[in-house]
Structure 1
């Protein structure tokens, strides 16, 4: 179900959303609320040390959501982004009642944001997991929170990463809560340079060429589907398409720019994915070829071929699902704003009354620094997803 306002906010509201001072205040709320959550998460380590891992994980699901909810708020309530989820009705009814491996295409800076928006709508965002670069675990706020929530951090070193992933999968088997494991099999965001190199590798390997995506790296997918068979039920083959072939960024969301996004999810029972290495790799390549064909249809007709009733259409029976944006992330955002901004405004007002202009100027500098940090963190998804090289053939397997 599509929700949200029109693509452009009218006059006065648009000017507020694009105002730099407003961005500074939003940044202050995001940073301070994140630090508060990080501190509370650190305190839950006591529960881990006394041996109650289930309670530790339950607490961190709740605590992480108190901060992560600001991302769906920014996307859906601030920018008015409209996300339409397409699935088979029977599959949609299972979506938050099972653990799954979510395979996302990686075309945009904000792919992970769309994944979080959908995760929030189906009430599983707090227990979403992913594989990320080790360096991100040291990034304040989100990186620290991901560490407490037992994300998988890799160094892109085959020997070390294999041990890390195998250990993490054993840990996931202990989870009492349903989870989503998000993976970007392309390994890095699409660029023309990486695409050209990727297709050269595909030609050498005799693989079907793709038009809009990089050749998927199969190792992580193989390890996930082979190692999580006892805890995950399925693979969610997910494809994101932004209407009108637009390329939104997180900074666009901060400025209140809205976009229409289609999110296609094909549920594949895990037992249908081959268990052997060669078969699993071939399965993933075929998955990406079909995913690429669906995306190509979108670029030509501005949407997935849902309404095409032909027998050859693999999307027969798919429909737009009724999963509207949730008010919880809005109320969490408002609560943080009241909690964080009220003391700030009171303190600034007190300083102004007392003529302490130097202190007010110092606060202004601090807010600008916080805003800079916030925008760097917002851009981190784009930077981290586009900075890795697609250079060595040996890394593609």
Structure 2
């Protein structure tokens, strides 16, 4: 859905939130650029500063999900696993199915103190997205071209740097390689059939090369794998624009902690283990669709006020600056300045809409479709 079709009040909210998000991001980008001076003096201090700046940026999306839309966020797990989240480094496996699944990952990280320190393996195209790509770069995330021959070296080099980060982190992997669609699923299951692998109903065939490399590189640094399976109550299909419209979603996550010493040592055995894991995730999704819950103890994650204060801070600065700018333009009596101001506002609206378009499934990448399909 286009932002242009939003009711007027929500179109205003969309514009205001977008302006605050982009303005704060540009300011944070500036401070990140300045922080480069710390790198030759104290690398750990540089990393800590960027962790805090990254937290301040991404926590705005957590506020949108929980405080503005009022969406619920629940974990299904055991208490022992919950007590260990965020205490040590971990590899996080997450299904990539919904438009806002990464927002749910951010919320999970925020709850357990890993929002600024978490890292993601992301497509290189994101690097060229203003604000978001730059923040992702400064915080030490790893970019891939989705060409294994070229990506392996960058992945190994990037993972070696994680050993030096001073705070617990989670390294996110969407092992399916791309967001789930019916067409990608159909092609993926053709590949599964050709390889003699069991077919999946709710997931794409996981890509094992990257996962195997991550496990082998982080075996001495990470303590566990966090396997997270996400679904939404009532078979909801959540969207970012839905959050703007204050549509309330119920995000449920099945979470299990798997000690890394339980993962096989051999590459082929690791790949086999990953495929078996996704078969189990498929069973979990089937169970959820039939019952409306995941197995395990339900833990309701309470909202924390820090993120709301953070957004209030950025909103105050942004709106005050915009108010002074608008007042100065209109008092000047200059037609040219007035037209420039409205042109800037319109451009900002459509620019923000393009950023939102990055999350929309129908505008997602064609990676995984027939034309670009490459069997591992």
TM-score range, shorter chain: over 0.9
Cα distance in 1, alignment partners of residues 212 and 50 from structure 2: 28
Aligned with 2:145 (options 145, 148, 155): 155
Cα distance in 2, alignment partners of residues 301 and 45 from structure 1: 51
Tell me the equivalent position of 1:24: 15
Cα distance in 2, alignment partners of residues 189 and 338 from structure 1: 36
Q: Is 1:282 aligned to 2:272, yes or no?
A: yes
Q: Is 1:131 aligned to 2:121, yes or no?
A: yes
Tell me the equivalent position of 1:312: none
Q: What pairs with 1:78-97 in structure 2 (closer than 5 Å)?
A: 78-97=68-87
Q: Is 1:105 aligned to 2:84, yes or no?
A: no
Change (3 A) 1:237 1:339: same
Aligned with 1:389 (options 354, 358, 368): 368
Q: Is 1:42 aligned to 2:33, yes or no?
A: yes
Question: Would you say the 8 A contact 1:217–1:396 is kept in 2?
Answer: no
Deviates more, 1:247-256 or 1:221-230: 247-256
Instruction: Give the TM-score, by structure 2 length.
Output: 0.93
What per-residue deviation string (whole Å, max 9, x for no partner) do you get for residues 312-361 of structure 1? xxxxxx31235312211111111111011012113323443454455334
Tell me the equivalent position of 1:262: 252
What per-residue deviation string (whole Å, max 9, x for no partner) do you get for residues 151-180 of structure 1? 000112222201001101111111221111
Report the secondary structure of 1:63's partner residue: helix
Report the secondary structure of 2:184's partner residue: helix
Aligned with 2:286 (options 296, 300, 306): 296
Q: Structure 2: 5+ residue runs without aligned partners? A: 1-5
Aligned with 1:338 (options 316, 323, 343): 316
Q: C-alpha displacement at 1:212, in angstroms?
A: 1.0
Report the secondary structure of 1:127's partner residue: coil
Q: What pairs with 1:168-247 in structure 2 (closer than 5 Å)?
A: 168-247=158-237
Report the secondary structure of 1:369's partner residue: helix
The structure 1 segments of at least 4 consecutive aligned residues displaced by more than 6 Å after TM superposition are: none
Question: Would you say the 8 A contact 2:89–2:224 is kept in 1?
Answer: yes
What per-residue deviation string (whole Å, max 9, x for no partner) do you get for residues 31-58 of structure 1? 111000001001111111x242111100
Q: C-alpha displacement at 1:192, in angstroms?
A: 1.1
Change (3 A) 1:385 1:234: farther
Change (3 A) 1:354 1:124: same
What per-residue deviation string (whole Å, max 9, x for no partner) do you get for residues 79-132 of structure 1? 111110122101110101011111001111111111001111111100111111
Cα distance in 2, alignment partners of residues 51 and 354 from structure 1: 47
Q: C-alpha displacement at 1:246, in angstroms?
A: 1.4
RMSD (Å), alpha carbons: 1.9
Report the secondary structure of 1:268's partner residue: strand
Report the secondary structure of 1:267's partner residue: strand
Instruction: Give the TM-score, by structure 1 length.
Output: 0.89
Tell me the equivalent position of 2:325: 347
Cα distance in 2, alignment partners of residues 390 and 187 from structure 1: 12
Question: Would you say the 8 A contact 1:217–1:395 is kept in 2?
Answer: no
Question: Would you say the 8 A contact 1:28–1:367 is kept in 2?
Answer: no
Q: Structure 1: 5+ residue runs without aligned partners? A: 1-13, 307-317
Cα distance in 2, alignment partners of residues 342 and 392 from structure 1: 49
Question: Would you say the 8 A contact 1:133–1:155 is kept in 2?
Answer: yes
Cα distance in 2, alignment partners of residues 347 and 243 from structure 1: 44
Cα distance in 1, alignment partners of residues 326 and 170 from structure 2: 43
Change (3 A) 1:210 1:88: same
Residues paired across the two proteins, number? 370
Tell me the equivalent position of 2:157: 167
Cα distance in 1, alignment partners of residues 336 and 247 from structure 2: 36
